[in-house]
Chain A
């Protein structure tokens, strides 16, 4: 197994600030916007973005939530790994809101497909956008593209993108990991 550093802490910080600014550009005061992180790994990115938006850019009353898509996945009973559910915490109605789905890595697009279905259980949002930190282009199974994107990565199938956060993994970094077999 070999790994290559894609983003270090400084680069990651710049990207997070850019994503935050792009969100502000489109959502202004976030009055009618909700950011929803996908469990489990989207929650770390969401927390970082929310911190930047509230402390650096003084956004008030930012609505954030966490969505678990386990029960909506299309690989139930198909994957060898049993699916494990996480908690969903959405304490507001998404009805008529602008929702931004936040996840760390966009790969096949199937998680996002599941998230779109899952969101319907909470009402009918006005719009839904997608924000991802890493976009693994060329590996999509579905016609899903991010609206806000941190970094595009060309990774082949036996490679894995690993996003680490200070609060979960010890450092801020993104690695490209290659299994040699």
Chain B
């Protein structure tokens, strides 16, 4: 197979295993490209991409922008903070105004879950979801699974624990879908207040004790505590969270194996993981960032490949 089964990348939920494998395989080639002296290919030189960020983002936006530029696409950026959204324009109107400038692909981050799916029904452009509320963040899950694959060879039968704020995390949901599709076992671990109800129905294990979770797993994906999404107190204090759910060197040393530590960033050093863990050889946090560009190049390339010239 050498073509995606979907036209838009709205979420991992909509991808087949073959799609994920194709994206990973294509990312291998782009990873080679971005390590060349000249890191640019002309594939998307006749494609225009709009990055619409209705919610703050630094690294995802940079990563997408870099991926777009390395594919030679034309790029326009839009962020809600300085836009007409503040003046009361609807999402469809905003996007249609941008599309009137002949844009082929929209990369969108939006605070509302399902914004990408909604948009895909109302506009005539390809959509890549760069995060919709606490719903999905497909490119992050693709790059996380790619990074695990790169480190451990395969995901089949591997045990991955996602630690922290599962309730507010789009990374968690996309990762669960993606890892399970690739044959990994998934566990979530965190304070009960930050685990969504009925999460077991997704086929994941639930563990409240971090040490037990780490003893079980091959890979620990540490999520950030998303203070900005917490309207009420989910745990008594940051200090208590650190004591119960922070990963530190002594804890890792007490395990009988070396586990891989991942973090989607930005890290709250000293909260979910300590500095010595984040900077250790077990952590593949910066590999994740590098792979992020290759994965996004692969996604954009494969989405663009389905836009026929004469459409």
A residues with CB within 8 A of B: 68, 70-72, 76-78, 82-88, 93, 117-118, 120-123
Contacts and interface: CB of A to CB of B under 8 A. Distances in A.
A71 B37 contact: no
Interface in B46-85: 46, 71
B2 A77 contact: no
B308 interface: yes
A74 to B, nearest CB: 9
7 closest A-B pairs by CB: A71-B41, A121-B38, A84-B2, A85-B29, A82-B3, A82-B2, A71-B43
B307 A87 contact: no
Main secondary structure of the interface of A (DSSP, over half): loop
A88 B37 contact: no
A123 B37 CA distance: 7
A86 B38 CA distance: 18
Contacts of A78: 309
Contacts of A88: 29, 32-33
B26 interface: yes
Given A72-B42, A85-B29, A87-B29, A121 B307 contact: no
B29 A71 contact: yes
Contact of A77 (B26, B39, B71, B309): B309
A87 B29 CA distance: 6
A109 B39 CA distance: 25
Contacts of A121: 33, 36-41
A85 B71 CA distance: 14
Most buried by B among A72, A82, A86, A87: A82
Nearest to A75: B309
A105 B4 CA distance: 30
Nearest to B40: A121
Interface string B16-45: 000000000110110011001111111100
Nearest to A76: B43
B38 A120 contact: yes
Contact of B2 (A72, A83, A93): A83
Interface of B: 2-3, 25-26, 28-29, 32-33, 36-43, 46, 71, 301, 304-305, 307-309
Contacts of A123: 37
Given A68-B29, A72-B41, A122 B309 contact: no
B284 to A, nearest CB: 22
A83 B2 CA distance: 7
Given A68-B29, A121-B41, A77 B305 contact: yes
Most buried by B among A68, A76, A93: A76
B41 A83 contact: no
Nearest to B302: A82
14 contacts: A68-B29, A71-B33, A71-B41, A71-B42, A76-B304, A77-B46, A78-B309, A85-B26, A88-B33, A93-B37, A120-B38, A121-B36, A121-B41, A122-B36
A122 B38 contact: yes
Contacts of B46: 77
Nearest to B304: A77
A3 B247 CA distance: 67
A76 B309 CA distance: 9
A36 to B, nearest CB: 14
Contacts of A72: 41-43
Contacts of A84: 2
Most buried by A among B26, B41, B308: B41
A49 B2 CA distance: 31
Contact of A86 (B29, B33, B41, B307): B29
Most buried by A among B36, B71, B304: B36
B81 to A, nearest CB: 34
Contacts of A77: 46, 304-305, 307-309
Given A76-B305, A121-B37, A87 B42 contact: no
A83 B306 CA distance: 11
A9 to B, nearest CB: 32
Nearest to A123: B37
B2 A70 contact: no
Contacts of A68: 29
Nearest to B36: A121
A12 B136 CA distance: 56
